[in-house]
A and B are shown apart, each in its own frame.
Chain A
Amino acid sequence: MYFINFFSLLILYYLSSNIKKFNPTSPLKKWINWGFLAGTAIWISGGTLEYSDVIFAQILFKILTIALISGLAYLVYTVPEFERTKTLFNAIAPFIILGIIEHFVELLAPKFYNSWEAVFETALAFAFLWAIFMYFVTRKQRKNLEIERLKAIERERELEIIEKVKASLEIEVADRTNELIRQKEELEKTLQELKSAQAQLIHAEKMASLGELTAGIAHEIQNPLNFVNNFSEVSHELIDEIQEARNKRLENANKTEEDELEEEILADIKTNLEKITHHGKRADSIVKGMLGHSRSNSGERTPSDLNALADEYLRLSFHGIRAKDKTFNADFKTDFDPSLPLVTIASQDVGRVFLNIVNNAFYACADYSKKLKNQVNLEDESLKNYIPCVKVTTRNISGTGVISISDNGPGIPENIREKIFQPFFTTKPTGMGTGLGLSLSYDIIKAHGGKIDLISEEGKGTEFIITLPLDRK
């Protein structure tokens, strides 16, 4: 029994050191301390109690000893915290159990015990040896486990460091990713800008070469066309002379049938020549318009008042159209910026630009108005009282003169917006327009370092925005 108490104290010691090492705040600590106290008390009192003559004291001692070790066994095998001590307990368990059995046999059947004592003693000795052997084995295992544990802690620490590095790396990666996304967006934006600049360049180049081509063709056509016109004119004069001479000769004579036939034919030839001259002149005016392309940079430049110029040509256009077409009816509005300074321009050329665009605007919305009137079932109430209106606005916007000419006409269909500045492009009926007005306007404004922009919405209207650089002070 003495040994059992010794083992109890040993187990308690291990449990206590276990608690100290791994979980100093464990609520079990208190119980362990009580156990120590009880163990020590039983141990000290054991000497007197076990060998006392009072059988009751002997039994009490045994019960207390067994209770303590049983309690410890219960703790070791059920509380997970004490798992480490389990192996040690396993080592001494056979010895304890044998010890207890021996004592009870000795107590309950002394005769049997006496005859089998040697066997019990031998078993106990073996159990003891087993315990010692197991103790050392366990100790070694524990040491290994301890090393493992330290290694695990070390690994844990390394893992923690790696986690930290990983986290900071992730932040860095996120930062860089954001930076890259930002750069990508910037690049995409730049690319977009470049593409539109390229498209503009291509357009400008195309317009320039078209302008040159147009002027070149005009030059080539002009001379032969002059001959056509001149010869038709001179032939006309010659027939005049023939008719004069014939009239004189036939004044007092009777005209034969042949004479009359000749006169008729001469009159027809004259009419034909007039037709040739008429159409030749028509071609000539087209050629003049085409030649305008090569002259768009030649007008003399003087400081001019854009407001006055815009106003003048707006009225000129209005009255010009009205003189030609009595049914023409339209409204116009102006909104001029008085802060617009004088600008050095070829005022006649720029005036032509205004005239061309304003003419187009009036034409577009007056035509629209006529079409609306011919439509019987107008669903849109606002269109019933449609009044064509052209508005000219000037603005001084950070160093540039901006002249906007807008109408409330039908708008320019999307598919032809690209083409309207090309020479000979027109939507007017044959003979009504040469298709040179806007291409010429484009050239003139280009020659002044400006640009013409177009905003148009079908069914709403069209706005031409002319931007001209102001003079540098």
Chain B
Amino acid sequence: MIKILIVDDEKDVELLFRQKFRKEVRAGEIELVFAFSGDEALMALESDNPPKVVYVFSDINMPGMTGLELLENVKSKFPDINVSMISAYGDTENYDKAIKSGAKEFFTKPIDFEEIKSEIRNFINSQ
């Protein structure tokens, strides 16, 4: 069982992910936690020491702390946690910045859940 944190300012994302990953969650393969801002995400990570979350998927465009800032924060505080970005803006500028800051993958919206599922499967297999 691995713990995954999803960060997005749109609350309905939780509903969507929970339904999409219903099988995986029920099978006990993964556990999903959600945060609706960068600050909330950092608080969630810091609440356990060492953090139980091993993978973070974050939106880039968020009010307050952006996904890219969150990425830098997470990478400086918890370098072992994987972070991938999910953004509506698939331009090269965002992509380059994310990869340079240590993002594992870069997904574009609308989300292709098959891609994310296979990424998670690969991650589990590599553990």
Contact = CB atoms under 8 A, between A and B. Distances in A.
A3 interface: no
A298 B16 contact: no
B20 A234 contact: yes
A304 B53 CA distance: 49
Interface string A229-273: 111001001100000000000000000000000000000000000
Contacts of B92: 298
Interface string B53-92: 0000000000000000000000000000000000010011
A226 B111 contact: yes
A20 interface: no
B110 A230 contact: yes
B40 interface: no
A222 interface: yes
Contacts of B111: 226, 230
Contacts of B20: 230, 234, 237
Contacts, number: 33
B21 to A, nearest CB: 10
Contacts of A219: 88
B100 interface: no
B19 interface: yes
A234 B16 contact: yes
Nearest to B9: A223
Interface string A284-321: 10000000000100100000000000000000000000
Interface residues of B, number: 13
Contacts of B119: none
Given A227-B16, A234-B16, A238-B19, A298 B91 contact: yes
Interface string B86-127: 001001100000000000000001110100000000000000
Nearest to A234: B19
Nearest to A235: B19
Contact of A226 (B15, B91, B110): B110
A227 B88 contact: no
A222 B10 CA distance: 13
Q: Which of A219, A223, A295 lies at the interface centre, i.e. has the most chain B CB atoms within 10 A of its CB?
A: A223
Contact of A222 (B12, B109, B113): B109
Given A219-B88, A223-B88, A298-B91, A231 B16 contact: yes
Contacts of B16: 227, 230-231, 234
B12 A227 contact: yes
Contacts of B109: 222-223, 226
A378 to B, nearest CB: 50
Contacts of B12: 227, 231
A223 B10 contact: yes
Contacts of A227: 10, 12, 16
B91 A295 contact: yes
B88 A284 contact: no
A431 B113 CA distance: 29
Contacts of A229: 110
A433 B96 CA distance: 35
Nearest to B13: A227
A229 B16 CA distance: 11
21 contacts: A219-B88, A223-B10, A223-B88, A225-B110, A226-B111, A227-B10, A227-B12, A227-B16, A229-B110, A230-B110, A230-B111, A230-B113, A231-B15, A231-B16, A234-B16, A237-B20, A238-B19, A284-B110, A295-B91, A298-B91, A298-B92
Interface of B: 10, 12, 15-16, 19-20, 88, 91-92, 109-111, 113
Interface of A: 219, 222-223, 225-227, 229-231, 234, 237-238, 284, 295, 298
